[in-house]
Amino acid sequence: MSGPRSILLVEDNPDDVDLTRRAFQRAGLTQPMAVVEDGVEALDYLFAREAYAHRASEPLPALVLLDLKLPRLDGHEVLRQIRANPRTRFLPVVVLTSSDEEKDLLESYSNGCNSYVRKPVSYNEFVEAARQLGVYWLVLNRSPPAGGRG
């Protein structure tokens, strides 16, 4: 087995990026975390395009943490494009958002998110949420190989 697979964090708020990194570190999760700041960059990263063309032979991340409110292309459209591509259709995607709107929850699941997590307000709650996300998605969960079958 190769080294630990990375996490892709799609988040445009630098404070939330820092908080997420610290929460995962404090939770003892040591997977490398790549960060992209908008929806177009997220798709370029996943599909090895433009500035990320060098990633063509690299494995997909083990988990995508996706904010919904993103510049250039929102999280809903990013999720739709991930699910429409055979290479990424089974990639675990957790929507990690501050939105508490039911329409965002329903649209996220309609577009194929694996989980929807509202960002906890307190740091300690965020660390606990990161720990639980990491244990489930990076340790317990088994994903199909990239692209799945068919």
pLDDT of residue 2: 52
For 4-56, the pLDDT digits (tens) are 689 999 999 998 899 889 888 888 888 899 999 999 999 999 999 999 999 99
Closest to 25 measured CA to CA, from 100, 147, 123? 123
Instruction: State the amino acid at position 72 in one-letter form.
Output: R
For residue 57, the tally of other CB atoms under 10 A from its CB is: 6
DSSP string, 88-124: TTT--EEEEES---HHHHHHHHHTT-SEEEEPPSSHH
Helix (H, G, I), strand (E, B) or coil at 76: helix
Prediction pTM value? 0.92
Closest to 23 measured CA to CA, from 109, 128, 122? 128
Tell me whether strands 63-66 and 33-36 are parallel, antiparallel or unpaired: unpaired
For 45-85, the pLDDT digits (tens) are 999 999 999 999 999 999 999 999 999 999 999 999 999 99
CATH architecture of 7-140: 3-Layer(aba) Sandwich (3.40)
Count Cβ atoms within 10 A of the Cβ of residue 86 and give its class: 0-12 exposed, 13-18 middle, 19 or more buried.
exposed
* CA pair distance 145, 150, nearest whole angstrom: 11
The answer to whether 66 touches 89, Cβ cutoff 8 Å, is no
